[in-house]
Amino acid sequence: MQTEHLKVINEVGLHARPAAFFVNAASSFQASVLIRNATTSSDWMDGKSILGVLVLGVEKGHEIDLQIEGPDEVEAKQALSALILSDFAAPPRGSSAAEMDRPRSRSEGGAKQGDSGGR
């Protein structure tokens, strides 16, 4: 098992886009990733779950703990630590910033502009 204690320096903490980057990066590894807000002594949450990460309420300046366990735990720890310490400057492994921002087609689960998704 790999553990890490980090300070979040991003302006919005681990909310919205940074949380999505983190979850996307964590999900690219086989290892399990647990995360908690050390500042608030929160419960451990699944680092591969966007809702789990958002519920932690990590704000700028908060400290987080990671527990990573699995066959690629060393690589996962390095990548996730680098992502947080770089202020989310680099896109997660296996994707690009452009890919995260591009509109998705209906076949990918996205809606067309002005489309309410059939509601």
CATH number for the domain spanning 52: value is 3.30.1340.10
The pTM for the full model equals 0.74
Residue 113 domain-assigned? Answer: no
Residue 107 domain-assigned? Answer: no
Residue 28 domain-assigned? Answer: yes
Residue 116 domain-assigned? Answer: no
By CB atoms closer than 10 A (0-12, 13-18, 19+), residue 46 is middle
Return the pLDDT at 93. Answer: 54
Residue 51 domain-assigned? Answer: yes
pLDDT in tens, the chain (119 residues): 999 999 999 999 999 899 999 999 999 999 999 999 999 999 999 999 999 999 999 999 999 999 999 999 999 999 999 999 998 875 555 544 444 443 444 444 444 444 444 44
How many domains does the chain contain in total? 1
5 has catalytic annotation: no
Single out the residue of 70, 36, 38, 65 nearest to residue 53, CA to CA: 36
Count Cβ neighbours within 10 Å for each residue of 51-72 and write b for 16 or more, e otherwise.
ebbbebebbeebebbbbbeeee
| Half-sphere exposure at residue 112, Cβ-oriented, CA atoms within 13 angstroms | 2
The active-site residue, picked from 6, 15, 50, 85, is: 15
The answer to whether 36 touches 83, Cβ cutoff 8 Å, is: no
Q: How far, in Å, CA of 108 to CA of 95, rounded?
A: 16
Return the pLDDT at 88. Answer: 83
Residue 65 domain-assigned? Answer: yes
Return the pLDDT at 94. Answer: 55
Residue 35 domain-assigned? Answer: yes
Give residue 53's domain range. Answer: 2-90
Q: Cβ–Cβ contacts within 10 Å for residue 98, how many?
A: 8
Return the pLDDT at 101. Answer: 42
Return the pLDDT at 103. Answer: 42
